[in-house]
Amino acid sequence: MRHATCSQCAVSGPLQTYFAYNNQIYCRDCADLLKFDTVPGAKPVDLIDPTICTRCGADNGDSEYPRLGVLPFCHNCHAYVEANPYPVWLKAGLAALLVLLVIALAHGRRYFSAGRQMYIGEKLVEEGKYAEAVPLLKQTVQIAPGSDKAVLLLAKAALLSGDPITASSAVEGHNHGQGFEQDTDLQEVNSLFSRVGSALEKVKKATDLNTQSGKAAEAATLMRQAADEYPEMPILRKSLPGYEAGVAFEKKDYDRFLELEQEEFRLLPESGMAAGGVASALACKYAVTGDAVWKKQSEDMLEKSRLLSHSPEDQKDFEEFAERTRYRLETRRIIDKPEYDRKFRSATSQGQH
Amino acid sequence: MFFIPGFVIAIATFPGVIVHETAHLFFCRIFKLAVYDVCFFRFGNPAGYVIHERTNNFRALFFVSMGPFLVNTVLCILFCTAAFLPVWVLKVDDYLAYFFYWLGLSIGMHAFPSTGDLSNLWQVAPALAKIGNVWAVLSVPLIGLLYVLNFGRIVWADLGYGIAVGILGPLAIFRALARA
**pTM for this entry:** 0.73
Work out the burial of residue B1: count CB atoms within 10 Å of its CB; fewer than 13 is exposed, 13-18 middle, 19 or more buried: exposed
The residue of chain B nearest to residue A141, with distances taken between CA atoms, is: B90
Residue A60 to residue A79: CA distance in whole angstroms: 17
Q: Write out chain A residues lying below 8 Å of B81, CB-based.
A: 105, 108
Cβ atoms of A81 and A68 closer than 8 Å: yes
Residue A45 touches chain B, beta carbons under 8 Å: no
DSSP B76-96: HHHHHHHHHIIIIIS----HH
Residue A86 touches chain B, beta carbons under 8 Å: yes
Residues with Cβ within 8 Å of residue B40, at least 6 apart in sequence = A87, A90, B17, B18, B21, B22, B48
Work out the burial of residue A324: count CB atoms within 10 Å of its CB; fewer than 13 is exposed, 13-18 middle, 19 or more buried: buried
pLDDT at A55: 85
The residue of chain A nearest to residue B32, with distances taken between CA atoms, is: A82
Question: Does residue B63 register a pLDDT over 90?
Answer: yes
The residue of chain B nearest to residue A73, with distances taken between CA atoms, is: B36
Tell me the percentage of chain B whose pLDDT exceeds 90.
Answer: 44
pLDDT at A350: 47
Residue B89 to residue B81: CA distance in whole angstroms: 12
- Decide if A112 and B174 are in contact by the 8 Å CB cutoff: yes
* Partner residue facing A71 (CB), from B18, B36, B178: B36
Tell which wins on pLDDT, B3 or A54.
Answer: A54
Q: Write out chain A residues lying below 8 Å of B28, CB-based.
A: 84
Residue B29 touches chain A, beta carbons under 8 Å: yes
Question: Does residue A348 register a pLDDT over 60?
Answer: no
R_g of chain A computed on alpha carbons:
45
> Lowest mean pLDDT: which of A74-78, B52-56, B69-73, B167-171?
B52-56
Q: What ipTM goes with this model?
A: 0.89
Question: Does residue B83 register a pLDDT over 80?
Answer: yes
Q: Which of residues 108-167 of B touch A (CB under 8 A)?
A: none
Residue A92 touches chain B, beta carbons under 8 Å: no
> Lowest mean pLDDT: which of A142-156, A221-235, B134-148?
B134-148
The residue of chain A nearest to residue B50, with distances taken between CA atoms, is: A84
Residue A154 to residue A135: CA distance in whole angstroms: 9
Per-residue model confidence as pLDDT tens digits over B144-155? 888 888 888 778
Tell me the percentage of chain A whose pLDDT exceeds 90.
Answer: 73
Per-residue model confidence as pLDDT tens digits over A290-321? 999 999 999 999 999 999 999 999 999 999 99
Give the pLDDT band of residue B79 (cuts 50, 70, 90): very high
Mean pLDDT of A236-260: 93
Mean pLDDT of B150-161: 82
How far apart, in Å, are the Cα atoms of A262 and each of A206, A351, B132? 20, 18, 88
Q: Kindly report the average pLDDT of chain A as a whole number.
A: 91
Residue A140 touches chain B, beta carbons under 8 Å: yes
Q: Write out chain B residues lying below 8 Å of A123, CB-based.
A: none
Q: Write out chain A residues lying below 8 Å of B78, CB-based.
A: 101, 104-105
- Decide if A118 and B89 are in contact by the 8 Å CB cutoff: yes
Per-residue model confidence as pLDDT tens digits over B88-101? 889 898 999 999 99
- Decide if A115 and B83 are in contact by the 8 Å CB cutoff: no
Identify the sign of the CA torsion A250, A255, A256, A262: positive
pLDDT at B46: 85
Length of chain B: 180
pLDDT at B98: 94
CA distance B172 to chain A (A): 13
Mean pLDDT of B15-40: 92
Virtual torsion, Cα A130, A131, A132, A136, nearest 10 deg: 90
- Decide if B91 and A144 are in contact by the 8 Å CB cutoff: yes
CA distance B40 to chain A (A): 9
- Decide if B97 and A107 are in contact by the 8 Å CB cutoff: yes
How far apart, in Å, are the Cα atoms of A54 and each of A25, A81, A97, A133, A337? 20, 10, 33, 69, 106
Residue B100 touches chain A, beta carbons under 8 Å: yes
- Decide if A112 and B28 are in contact by the 8 Å CB cutoff: no
Q: Write out chain A residues lying below 8 Å of B75, CB-based.
A: 97, 101
* Partner residue facing A84 (CB), from B29, B81, B91: B29
Question: Does residue A138 register a pLDDT over 90?
Answer: yes
Mean pLDDT of A206-222: 91
Question: Does residue B161 register a pLDDT over 60?
Answer: yes
The residue of chain A nearest to residue B89, with distances taken between CA atoms, is: A147
- How many CB atoms are located within 10 Å of the residue B75 CB? 23
How many Cα atoms occupy the beta-carbon half-sphere of A99 within 13 Å?
A: 6
Q: Write out chain A residues lying below 8 Å of B25, CB-based.
A: 84, 86
Per-residue model confidence as pLDDT tens digits over A55-114? 888 999 989 999 887 788 999 988 888 877 889 999 999 999 999 999 999 999 999 999
Per-residue model confidence as pLDDT tens digits over A180-210? 888 888 999 999 999 999 999 999 999 999 8
Residues with Cβ within 8 Å of residue A341, at least 6 apart in sequence = A347, A348, A349
Q: Kindly report the average pLDDT of chain B as a whole number.
A: 88
- Decide if A112 and B85 are in contact by the 8 Å CB cutoff: yes
The DSSP element (H or E) to which A12 belongs, if any, is strand A12-14
Q: How many CB pairs under 8 A join A and B?
A: 103
Residue A264 to residue A242: CA distance in whole angstroms: 6
Mean pLDDT of B130-144: 88
pLDDT at A39: 59
Tell which wins on pLDDT, A101 or A28.
Answer: A101
pLDDT at A351: 47
pLDDT at A353: 60
Identify the sign of the CA torsion A332, A336, A337, A342: negative
Residue closest to B47 by CA, chosen among B70, B68, B75 = B68
CA distance A261 to chain B (A): 48
Question: Does residue B68 register a pLDDT over 70?
Answer: yes
Tell me the percentage of chain A whose pLDDT exceeds 70.
Answer: 95
pLDDT at A124: 96
The DSSP element (H or E) to which B49 belongs, if any, is strand B49-52
Give the pLDDT band of residue A42 (cuts 50, 70, 90): low
Mean pLDDT of A142-160: 95
User: A130-154: buried (b, 16+ CB within 10 Å) or exposed (e) per residue?
Assistant: beebbebbbbbbebbbebbbbbbbb
